[in-house]
Structure 1
Amino acid sequence: MAENSTKGIPAHEPDDIVPRLAEARDVLHWGAAAEAAEIFRVLQEEAARLGLVTERAAALVGLGDCALEAGELSGARDHFAEAELLLADAPPACRAPARRGRATAHLLAGELRYCCHLLETALDELNEPGTAGAGDPRALLALHTTAIAPYVDLGAYVRAARAAELALALTAEVDDPVLVAGALRGAARTLVVEGRFAEAGTALARARELCRSRRIRTELAHCHRAHGYVHAQDGRLGAAERELRTARAMLAAKRAPLFTVQVEVELADVLRRRGKADEAAALLAPLLTPAALGDERGAVHAGGAHRLLGLMAEDRGDTESAEEHYCAALSLLERTGAAGDLADLCRLLGDLLRRTGRTEAALNAYRTGLGHRAAPGTTTLGPAPPVPLRRPCG
């Protein structure tokens, strides 16, 4: 008789692996990624031994999700890619979880355009008439929801809003609280872009209630983080600080280092705006190491940390240090294509250079920002303006 547990005892029958995979995912959603990874690792080995391709791929996706929580992006990509390879001959809906995971790993690394390419390719495959599993609502919901964040970061706001609209429409067909809460959280961000803060807050409140009722701690932490972002964008800094502190505590408790340091960057921004510069600086200082943030572990937030340190240096009158931080941020963000962040940073750098009498360098900084905002496909007539060859830094 098979042992149906999550303690690593081999199953004697293939049917035992499916419920144990579900148990492992529950452990992950509760916020114990390290424990979940051990269970997924055992199940992956068992499935491989028994020749169960679908179950082995599901275990690999679970391992990839655990690696994302731990901030191990390269390892996560490897797990997701292996799962996709195993399912190469399966319908696109079966490959969707692995593709979504791989796209998320590239998103977290700041590779926004490649993330969108992966998601759009998967969506094209799912929407191909006559394809087995075409139109699968669960797969479509997962892919559309994941596309929202990179679209917003790239400045493709119409696409982001459309992805959110499609995701929300699919939630009625999917009984998965994690996916539904994620769709509500993604939609909230597009509502913020449109200035609809109250509606964004309502969407997040629904997501939080869903997570609480189903005891989904991981997604609940991200909902607190998203609510902090909404409040910060709306100028409600006290409420933003409370939400971000809650998210930080929850993420740190469940040992999610990458997400924890990203929240710390967002919290530092709120603290600086509230006049708590020393506390903000203390939060940021440990984050500017390769082990915390950087090209592989959150280039967008690393750029944000440098931006904040530059602003604080300007507040102290240290223009040389401010320029160094702005240039470091620009170097990181240019590789991501985060249009809004780049435009804002180029404005800050250009203003600094102009105030210090370097008019030509300031103009180059402004041109760089405009070049990133006017990307191909955004101009009415003619090609988009090229990004200047001459960099404003260095």
Structure 2
Amino acid sequence: MTADPQPTGPIDTSVGQRLLRLRQERGLTQQQLAAPQFTNAFVSAVESGRRRPSERALRHFADRLGVTEAELGLGHPPHLVSGLRLRLAEVRHALSAGPTSATGAELADIAATADRHQLVEPLAQAVLLQGMVAFRDGDPSGCAVLAGRAEDLLSDQPLPARVPMIAVRAACARTLGDSSYAVHLLETTIRGLETTGLADPDALLYLRGGLVLAYMDLGSPERAATAARAALELAPRASDPRMLATMHTQVARSLIADGHTDAALASLAKAQSLLDQLDFRRELGLCHWALGYAHARRGDLDAAVTELRTGRDILHAIDARTDEAMLAAELGDVLRRTGDHTGAMELLRYAVDQLDRGQEVPLRAEAHRYLGQLHLDLGDLPAAEASLRRALRLSVPATLRAEIAVTARLLGDVLTARGRHADASAAYRDGLLALETAT
């Protein structure tokens, strides 16, 4: 037996910890592991972190333990990290192209493998994707918990590494009706990136796109427009095509609200082109929704119906139920405006039923308002009042100011038609207050 010369440089104690774990798992004594080239004292010193093994010692130990040198030295096979990243990319595509049920087992296996080998970055990505599965399945609360767990895993990493988790947490907050907290999260993170000199264009694009939607929820179109302009300025420097396409879809909402429908359509055309190339089906379906929304706001109802039906078909095919219900509500309102009350009623009842099973506060409020408008058009004032009051009960706690203002005005019209003028005045007043407090 020979002693191994002490290599120079700092000692990586994790090698000794792995050596100890693998030896014990195989039921070997230190002497059995050391023989015939080394001493059990040397093995003890390596396991305790007092000695760093040479390449010769690593080769010997790896051979005795039945693992590769890389696995013993790094804690994992040499190509494991790249393999896990490839599998994560495949899951992301599968999430966009099909039902979430096809990804659960694969994500669990990726997470378990990464955890077993103490690979924090792929583990965090797997946990985040598990959260996004929960979001797709109508559980934004569960998604927020998983995104927070993924962020905690990367707590010692630079801020840009945690941006996807923060953006997903903000999206969950919006969906649960707390857009103010979403704005706080996004703005705080943007300031953190800018003040530390870590303002990566892709990261900022991700965050500013989320800000556009949060400001729209809060009835702050001016701030949404500012965030949209900032996002568009970042676009030429961004490198992630999926993120770029998502930003164009988000920004379109602000452009439409600001009266720039043609610019919104141009932005959406860019998003559609990118998503077609990437074959991201869910994002493409949402892009068709945004196109339909834009056409409806400019009064081109036939084009809106075409886009919304296309988007709904795509989302139905991949079993994106919440997204499909959102499109059904928008399509139902457009059909109401075309005079197809039967088709509108079928779609809006379906949308309300589906969305009320979940936690998506802004979507539920909008769907109930659309249904109230349809009942009003049909002259069913009691049903209209019930739907609009339901929409207000959802909107007020979530401080969805723009939604409150529109719904309160409609409710006032219904109450006036029913001869309840004092109640109507109160509803109109609530709508005005919501508009006045919008900032």
Q: How far has the Cα of 1:32 moved from its partner?
A: 4.6
The answer to whether 1:35 aligns with 2:35 is: no
Structure 1 residue 29: Cα displacement: 3.3
Correspondence list, 1:240-279, <5 A = 240-279=304-343
1:119 corresponds in structure 2 to 186
Partner of 1:321: 383
1:179 correspondence with 2:243? yes
Provide Cα deviations, 1:34-84, integer angstroms capped at 9, x if missing partner: 323432221111111111111111111121222222222222112101101
CA 1:351–1:46: 2 relative to 1, 3 Å? same
Q: Given the two structures, how large is their TM-score scaled by the length of structure 2? A: 0.78
**Contact 2:99–2:320 (Cα < 8 Å) also in 1:** no
| Residue 156, structure 1, aligned to residue 220, structure 2 | yes
AA aligned to 2:232 is: L
The 2-side partners of 1:26 and 1:355 are apart by 51
The 5 Å alignment of 1:1-394 reads 13-15=79-81, 16-129=83-196, 134-289=198-353, 292-294=354-356, 296-375=358-437, 378=439
Q: Is the 8 A contact 1:14 1:50 kept in 2?
A: no
Q: Secondary structure at the match of 2:133?
A: helix
Query: Is this contact kept in 2: 1:145–1:186, CA < 8 A?
Result: yes
Q: What SS does the corresponding residue of 2:355 show, helix, strand or coil?
A: coil
Q: By how many angstroms is 1:85 displaced?
A: 1.4
Distance 1:241 1:58 in 2: 37
- TM-score, scaled relative to structure 1: 0.87
> Unaligned regions of 5+ residues in structure 1, if any?
3-9, 379-394
Query: Counterparts of 1:287 and 1:156 in 2: how far apart (Å)?
Result: 26
For 1:387, the equivalent position in structure 2 comes to: none
* Residues 1:342 and 1:295: Cα distance change in structure 2 (over 3 Å): farther
The structural deviation recorded for 1:138 is 1.7
The one-letter amino acid of 2:237's match is E
Separation (CA, whole Å) in 2 of partners of 1:115 and 1:62: 20
CA contact (8 A) 1:109 1:296 kept: no
* 1:139-170 superposed Cα distances (whole Å, 9 cap, x missing partner): 11111111111111212122211211222222
**Alignment partners' CA distance in 1, 2:404 and 2:187:** 24
> What does the per-residue CA deviation read over 1:156-202, in whole Å, with 9 as the maximum and x for residues that have no partner?
12221121122222222222111011111122222111211111111
User: How far apart in 2 are the matches of 1:61 and 1:37?
Assistant: 12
User: Whole-Å Cα distance in 2 between the matches of residues 46 and 152 of structure 1?
Assistant: 41
Between stretches 222-231 and 168-177, larger displacement belongs to: 168-177
Task: Tell me how far apart the structure 1 counterparts of residues 350 and 277 of structure 2 sit (CA, whole Å).
Answer: 36
Match of 2:52 in 1: none
The residue identity in structure 2 corresponding to 1:19 is L
* Larger CA deviation: 99-108 vs 12-21: 12-21
**Over the residues paired in the alignment, what is the CA RMSD in angstroms?**
2.1
Question: How much does 1:11 deviate?
Answer: 7.2
Deviations 1:254-280 (CA, angstroms, capped at 9, x unpaired): 111111111111011001111111111
Stretches of structure 2 that go unaligned for 5 or more consecutive residues are 1-66, 69-75
CA contact (8 A) 1:258 1:297 kept: no
What one-letter code is carried by the residue in structure 2 that aligns with 1:58?
Answer: Q
For 1:295 and 1:100, the matched residues in 2 are separated by 24
Asked if the contact 1:295–1:332 (Cα under 8 Å) also holds between the matched residues in 2, the reply is: no
Tell me by how many angstroms 1:89 deviates.
2.2
Deviation of 1:12 (Å): 7.6
One-letter code aligned to 1:183 = M
Give 1:13 shift.
Answer: 4.8
Note the C-alpha offset of 1:295: 8.6
Q: Which has the larger radius of gyration?
A: 2
- For residues 166 and 398 of structure 2, the distance between their equivalents in structure 1, rounded to whole angstroms, comes to 20
Please report how far the alpha carbon of residue 19 of structure 1 lies from its aligned counterpart in structure 2 after TM superposition: 2.4
Contact 1:228 1:241 in 2 (8 A): yes
